[in-house]
């Protein structure tokens, strides 16, 4: 029995990865929830918007690397993020102008807008694959570890190592900053307040003289920033592949719905709920239990509840359970 080592192993394999993954999901889910709250439809092109933003960042990262610009221990990609956000903002604003606005004017049913977003998804998908191809790309550089497992062992003398990758630390820090900024914007600024008013009650907001066009434009720009940052963080932490980003749609939507669609706070909570359950259920607990339990109780098998290939099943099951028992999500969401 060795509780300290058990805690270290738990943090190393479950807590830290889940916190990083949860932050990425939360940023993605915030985008989904904002679009749902203000533009009032579920955007199926979200994952591919993410892929597009990340692609632009990757291209700029390569450009900077070829110029010899770097951020030292931090990934060069951070320098490229503003360009990615700008390009994505142009893309989504253009899409909104050319595609979505027409349907908004007609006040079509939300499900038609979802259908339209399927078409947009195809187009984005084609664009990203034509420009950068469908393959894996790695673009992380700089220092790999904040603390490596070996240093940690040398420092503490424990038999378990605790590794914190730079990308994981960076993910959490950036996510906190972005979320703080977003909430400050939504709660303190005039535009942010008008966005919330528009989301709560469209007619009343229009009567009070809020300009819907402006609200919608600002929303798209914020969403572009959120998805690009989320996509870059995910790509740095794991790797970039357009199809993986498309598949992220499921956990991201699960996070947004579990938290309550249209509720930003819920999106963050949902992201962490989904991430912790995914990592927790697909992790083989043998090591942690070996430390935590007396020798006589130590497990024989891997104590892995489900193989990692079923991680989608986890987010899905949580989604269904929440929807069955609390249809508006953990935090009160809105229903269109």
Contacts with another protein, residue ranges (CB under 8 A): 41-42, 44, 99, 102, 110-112, 114-116, 118-127, 129-131, 133-134, 243, 246-247, 249-250, 253-254, 257, 301, 305, 307, 309-310, 312-313, 315-316, 319-320, 323-324, 327, 335
Please give the radius of gyration of the chain, using alpha carbons only, rounded to the nearest integer: 21
Nearest to 76 by CA among 236, 292, 191: 236
Residue 159 or residue 308: which is nearer to another protein going by CB? Answer: 308
Residue 73 or residue 119: which is nearer to another protein going by CB? Answer: 119
Alpha-carbon distances, residue 208 vs 189, 196, 212, 218, 262 (angstroms): 17, 13, 11, 18, 21
Residue 169 or residue 306: which is nearer to another protein going by CB? Answer: 306
Alpha-carbon distances, residue 126 vs 77, 88, 234, 251 (angstroms): 23, 15, 21, 22
Residue 73 or residue 133: which is nearer to another protein going by CB? Answer: 133
| Cβ–Cβ < 8 Å for 256, 315 | no
Residue 116 or residue 175: which is nearer to another protein going by CB? Answer: 116
Cα 34 → chain centroid: 13
Q: Name the minimum Å distance from CB 90 to another protein.
A: 18
Task: Measure the N-to-C terminal CA separation of the chain; round to a whole number of Å.
Answer: 53
Q: Name the minimum Å distance from CB 210 to another protein.
A: 25
Q: What tokens does 280 get?
A: 């927790």
Q: Name the minimum Å distance from CB 302 to another protein.
A: 10
Q: Name the minimum Å distance from CB 126 to another protein.
A: 3
Neighbours of 252 (CB within 10 A): 31
Q: Name the minimum Å distance from CB 122 to another protein.
A: 3
Q: Name the minimum Å distance from CB 290 to another protein.
A: 19
Residue 22 or residue 242: which is nearer to another protein going by CB? Answer: 242
Nearest to 32 by CA among 290, 274, 208, 214: 274
Buried b or exposed e, range 36-50, using 16+ CB within 10 angstroms: bbbbebbbbbbbbbb
Q: Name the minimum Å distance from CB 315 to another protein.
A: 7
Cα 234 from Cα 231, distance rounded (Å): 5
Q: Which residue has the tokens 């130590």?
A: 298
Residues in contact with 322: Cβ distance below 8 Å, sequence separation at least 6, in sequence order: 257, 258, 329, 330
Residue 168 or residue 315: which is nearer to another protein going by CB? Answer: 315
Q: Name the minimum Å distance from CB 107 to another protein.
A: 14
Residue 123 or residue 293: which is nearer to another protein going by CB? Answer: 123
């Amino acid at each position: 029995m060795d509780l300290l080592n058990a805690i270290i192993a738990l943090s190393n394999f479950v807590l830290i990865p889940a916190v990083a993954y949860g932050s990425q999901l939360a940023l993605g889910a915030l985008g989904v929830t904002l679009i749902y709250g203000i533009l009032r439809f579920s955007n199926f092109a979200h994952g591919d918007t993410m892929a597009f933003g990340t692609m632009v960042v990757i291209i700029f990262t390569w450009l900077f690397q070829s110029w010899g610009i770097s951020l030292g221990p931090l990934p060069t990609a951070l320098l490229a993020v503003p360009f990615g956000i700008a390009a994505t903002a142009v893309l989504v604003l253009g899409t909104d102008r050319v595609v979505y606005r027409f349907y908004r004017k007609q006040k079509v049913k939300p499900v038609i807008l979802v259908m339209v977003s399927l078409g947009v998804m195809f187009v984005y998908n084609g664009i990203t694959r034509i420009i950068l191809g469908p393959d894996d790309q790695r673009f992380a550089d700089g220092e790999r570890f904040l603390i490596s497992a070996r240093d940690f062992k040398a420092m503490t003398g424990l038999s378990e190592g605790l590794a914190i990758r730079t990308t994981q630390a960076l993910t959490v820090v950036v996510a906190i900053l972005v979320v703080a900024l977003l909430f400050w914007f939504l709660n303190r600024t005039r535009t942010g307040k008008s966005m919330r008013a528009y989301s709560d009650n469209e007619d009343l907001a229009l009567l009070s003289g809020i300009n819907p066009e402006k609200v919608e434009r600002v929303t798209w720009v914020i969403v572009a920033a959120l998805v690009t940052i989320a996509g870059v963080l995910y790509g740095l932490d794991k790797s970039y592949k357009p199809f993986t980003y498309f598949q992220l749609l499921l956990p991201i939507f699960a996070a947004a719905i579990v938290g309550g669609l249209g509720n930003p706070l819920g999106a963050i909570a949902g992201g962490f709920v989904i991430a912790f359950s995914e990592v927790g259920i697909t992790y083989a607990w043998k090591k942690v239990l070996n430390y935590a339990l007396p020798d006589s109780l130590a497990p024989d098998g891997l104590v892995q509840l489900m193989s990692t290939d079923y991680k989608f099943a986890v987010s899905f099951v949580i989604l269904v359970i929440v929807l069955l028992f609390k249809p508006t999500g953990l935090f009160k969401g809105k229903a269109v």
